[in-house]
Amino acid sequence: MVSMEDAKGKVYFETYGCQMNFSDTELVAGILAKDHYEVVQDINDADLIFINTCSIRDNAEQRVFSRLQHLRGLKRRKGKELVVGVMGCMAERLKKDLIEKEKLVDVVVGPDAYRDVPRLIQMAKLGEKGINTLLSLEETYEDLTPLRTEGVSAWLTVMRGCDNFCTFCVVPFTRGRERSRPVGSVVSETELMSREGRIREITLLGQNVNSYNDNGRQFADLLQAVAAVDRSIRIRFATSHPKDFSDDVLRAVRDNENICKYIHIPFQAGANRVLEAMNRTYTREEYLDLIARMKQMIPGVSVSTDVMVGFPGETDEDYEQTLDLMRQVRFDTAFMFKYSPREGTKAWKMGDTVPEEVKADRLQKLIDLQERISYENNQNRIGTTEFVLIEGEAPRGDGFLRGKTDSNIFCVFPGEPGMKPGDLVRVRITGATGHTLKAEVLKEEPVTT
């Protein structure tokens, strides 16, 4: 950390979008901390503000634009003393708009140019615009250490970019081609967290972790290597693409006690016709086979998904197949969205053919179905035992603590003297809603401290 006296400036980050973006914010915070900037939590204290942006849906972009409008007042008050930067997925797509329309933006930096941030800030301070949105075929930031200042869980990016070109998605354009970090560098960062002792759960991140490849070493090899570093650290991973999900990965999950028995595996649509138009490269039947293998090889595995309604050309029958797949698999949780057309993608050219009210109606029915399934799945957990990693006090107070189960579901339970964030405790589930489990602690010593 940089002391107040030595700091070149004070930087405030605001992050939108996915876990990868939050991980990238920590990466840039690490780069700037090394360059003698102090990271602050109050925007009013900052002389450098970075907005980490998301392009995945139109409303995510609109939120960033409206946030930039709000910053105008601050910029007026502080004048040249305040540098405003935009980083992440919107940088390349919208750099012209950001610089020309949003005249308050001084720095625009794409996901592969974060090493360049200190130089771009210097340019901005000299009155020039600092812009670097070049994408790279190699950059993995393998030698850089992100700044992680709080919490007991960490994200660890193991690969960047995506080669899949799903027809609705901008990620291959905003984040570039797939590249994997060497196994050794991921293991070293895990060892560092283990030595420091605070982090008790690590989520390995990538747009498509299952296509991880470090000179022939696959994602299953990486999982085994990371899990072996410290058996008291829980390991998760996201996101997986069904076409690349190997049985070796399932075996790694099954055979390593500290890898959570939880898998996030987007299916996006239930009809083969729509899956093909999306270029998802698997069929409904192949997806269901994969889920069956998961459930057979890892009894009790918890599965979540991403699903979309209203893709161009989606008929009532196609949508029924989506509902049907949800009923068959019975996901524990699902992230459900309306299709949002993104300029530059193949799907953009197909037109936004499903009327907004139809999309809204389909989404609502999907949410209702999933709420019921989540509730029923959680009710079935009553009486079972789970390990929960304590994250802190529950919002309800009264001495209750909260954390997540191995199966990635929020759980609250009455705390006991000596319990603290980072402890892994065994609980018995005593009650459940669709989103939260209630539990009692089983009388044992915490597994870790």
Least gap, CB of 164 to ligand SF4 (angstroms): 4
x/- string (CB under 6 A) for ligand SF4, residues 19-38?
--------------------
Instruction: Please give the Cα distance from 408 to 335 (Å, whole number).
Output: 14
- Scan residues 196-215 and list those touching ligand SF4 (CB under 6 A): 207-208
Question: Judged by CB under 6 A, which of 9, 85, 146, 172 binds ligand SF4?
Answer: 172
48 binds ligand SF4 (CB under 6 A): no
Least gap, CB of 262 to ligand SF4 (angstroms): 19
Least gap, CB of 175 to ligand SF4 (angstroms): 8
CB atoms within 10 A of CB 44: 9
Cβ closest to ligand SF4, residue 146 vs residue 242:
242
Question: Judged by CB under 6 A, which of 152, 166, 307, 308 binds ligand SF4?
Answer: 166
Question: Judged by CB under 6 A, which of 46, 87, 113, 169 binds ligand SF4?
Answer: 169
264 binds ligand SF4 (CB under 6 A): no
Instruction: Please give the Cα distance from 101 to 222 (Å, whole number).
Output: 44
Least gap, CB of 172 to ligand SF4 (angstroms): 5
Cβ closest to ligand SF4, residue 132 vs residue 207:
207
Instruction: Please give the Cα distance from 144 to 128 (Å, whole number).
Output: 27
Least gap, CB of 163 to ligand SF4 (angstroms): 8
Which of 212, 325, 187, 219 lies closest to 268 in space, CA to CA? 325
Cβ closest to ligand SF4, residue 165 vs residue 335:
165
Written as six digits, the tokens of 216 are 């022939």
Written as six digits, the tokens of 402 are 């909260």
Beta-carbon contacts of 361 under 8 Å, excluding residues fewer than 6 positions away, are none
Question: Judged by CB under 6 A, which of 57, 179, 181, 241 binds ligand SF4?
Answer: 241
Question: Judged by CB under 6 A, which of 165, 246, 328, 385 binds ligand SF4?
Answer: 165
Least gap, CB of 57 to ligand SF4 (angstroms): 12
Least gap, CB of 339 to ligand SF4 (angstroms): 12
Q: Are 88 and 108 in contact (CB under 8 A)?
A: no
DSSP 230-284: -TTSEEEEE---GGG--HHHHHHHHH-TTB-SEEE---B-S-HHHHHHTT--S-H
Written as six digits, the tokens of 345 are 């993608």
Least gap, CB of 130 to ligand SF4 (angstroms): 28
Q: What share of the chain is helix, strand, coil (3-state, %, to 5)?
A: 40, 25, 40
Beta-carbon contacts of 355 under 8 Å, excluding residues fewer than 6 positions away, are none
Which of 156, 121, 131 lies closest to 24 in space, CA to CA? 156
Sign for the CA dihedral angle at 245, 295, 339, 133 comes to negative
Binding piece for ligand SF4, criterion CB under 6 A, among 161-169, 336-344, 375-383, 439-447: 161-169
Sheet containing 37-39: which strands, arranged edge to edge?
37-39, 9-15, 48-53, 83-88, 107-109, 130-132
Written as six digits, the tokens of 188 are 């070293």
The torsion region of residue 422 among left (phi > 0), alpha (psi -120 to 50) and beta comes to left
Least gap, CB of 248 to ligand SF4 (angstroms): 20
Cβ closest to ligand SF4, residue 163 vs residue 289:
163
Beta-carbon contacts of 395 under 8 Å, excluding residues fewer than 6 positions away, are 402
Least gap, CB of 307 to ligand SF4 (angstroms): 12
Task: Count interface residues toward ligand SF4 (CB under 6 A).
Answer: 10
Least gap, CB of 169 to ligand SF4 (angstroms): 3
Cβ closest to ligand SF4, residue 60 vs residue 419:
60
Cβ closest to ligand SF4, residue 7 vs residue 303:
303
- How many Å is the Cα radius of gyration of the chain? 23
DSSP E strand stretches across 54-200: 83-88, 107-109, 130-132, 153-157, 159-160, 179-180
Cβ closest to ligand SF4, residue 23 vs residue 407:
23
Question: Judged by CB under 6 A, which of 89, 171, 202, 334 binds ligand SF4?
Answer: 171
Cβ closest to ligand SF4, residue 133 vs residue 211:
211
Residue 223 burial class via C-beta count within 10 angstroms: exposed 0-12, middle 13-18, buried 19 and up? buried
Cβ closest to ligand SF4, residue 166 vs residue 291:
166
Chain residues binding ligand SF4 by CB under 6 A are: 162, 164-166, 169, 171-172, 207-208, 241
